[in-house]
Amino acid sequence: MASSFPLPVRALVLSVAATLAATLGSGFASGPALAGASGPFLAHQALYELSLVKSRGSSAINGARGRIVYDFSGNACEGYTSQFRQVSELDSGEGKLTLSDLRSTSWEDAEGKSYRFKIATRMNDTDAAPVDGSAERVGEHITVKLKQPVAKTFNLEGKVVFPTEQIQHIIAAARDGKSVLELMVYDGSDNGEKVYNTLSVIGQPIPGTRSIAAPDPATANDQMKTLTRWPVTVSYYDRDAKARDGEQTPVYAMSFELFENGVSRALVLDYNDFVISGAMGKFDARDSKPCK
């Protein structure tokens, strides 16, 4: 998951934050109704190695590499904290390299009532304006208060969810045997004012007992071996963009296998012009503090 430079480079950095910085039922349920419905999330740190899968379209990318380091902690009483960093290098040929560095920190109330976020990005030697703010659910809307890039207060209308809440809904839908889920998601990306329409397609459950062709540190971990996971593809659409010819193209899509405790593996990031894979290179489960 999860913005000041042109696509697709912009998407490579912030779209991942939009979804992973939270690590990643039907309809637009919001509020505490589904909070905790998927059970406790696992506190953990994961490292993903990025590489180019394929390039398509007019904006050819010859190569891509990078890393994502993601740290998730907290519980249903104290809320969830995410720390995320992605460093990526894109090679567009003829010696043209673009280096991007994103750092994101967020905290989310377990009932989906409050969300705080800070996002800082750098592209080559240029710093983008940081994004710093908070969001509170008040009745039927969410009030966002931005400190940066500009001080501003505004409301988000509709049944919008925050990133960890989004993952809770996806897991709950998967457990109910649902294959499609639509949600509006706010994560503070772009300039702090962006809301994405998302469409999640959920595949058949993969039992932990099934053999795996390409194991990684997550599937080899003793705490993870017996857990069910689901193949999930989440497409992100700009809520403010108008559809062309009756159909809107997603800004980007992200595929992954989602464990029932919130851990994601086997990332595939599709930015229309090119596709990036994120193979898990390291995984450390942490002790989760129980609710007092």
Pair 162, 186: CB distance under 8 Å? yes
Span 172-177, average pLDDT: 96
Kindly give the pairing relationship between strand 180-186 and strand 160-161. parallel
Confidence class for position 245, pLDDT limits 50, 70, 90 = low
Cα separation, 42 vs 260, in Å, equals 9
Residue 169 CA: distances (Å) to CA of 84, 111, 156, 174, 234? 21, 12, 19, 8, 12
pLDDT at 62 over 50: yes
pLDDT at 200 over 90: yes
Confidence class for position 254, pLDDT limits 50, 70, 90 = very high
Residue 257 has φ and ψ, to the nearest 5°, of -100, 125
Confidence class for position 6, pLDDT limits 50, 70, 90 = very low
Structure tokens given for 138: 């008040």
Cα separation, 262 vs 283, in Å, equals 13
Hey, which residues does 85 pair with through a beta bridge?
69, 103
The 10s digit of each residue's pLDDT in 11-39 is: 343 333 333 333 332 222 233 223 333 45
Name the nearest CA neighbour of 196 among 35, 11, 9. 11
Residue 263 vs residue 18, higher pLDDT: 263
Hey, which residues does 103 pair with through a beta bridge?
85, 120
pTM of the shown model: 0.83
The 10s digit of each residue's pLDDT in 84-123 is: 999 999 888 777 888 999 999 999 998 899 999 999 988 8
The 10s digit of each residue's pLDDT in 114-153 is: 999 999 988 888 877 799 999 999 988 999 999 999 999 9
Listed by start position, the domains of the chain span 9-285
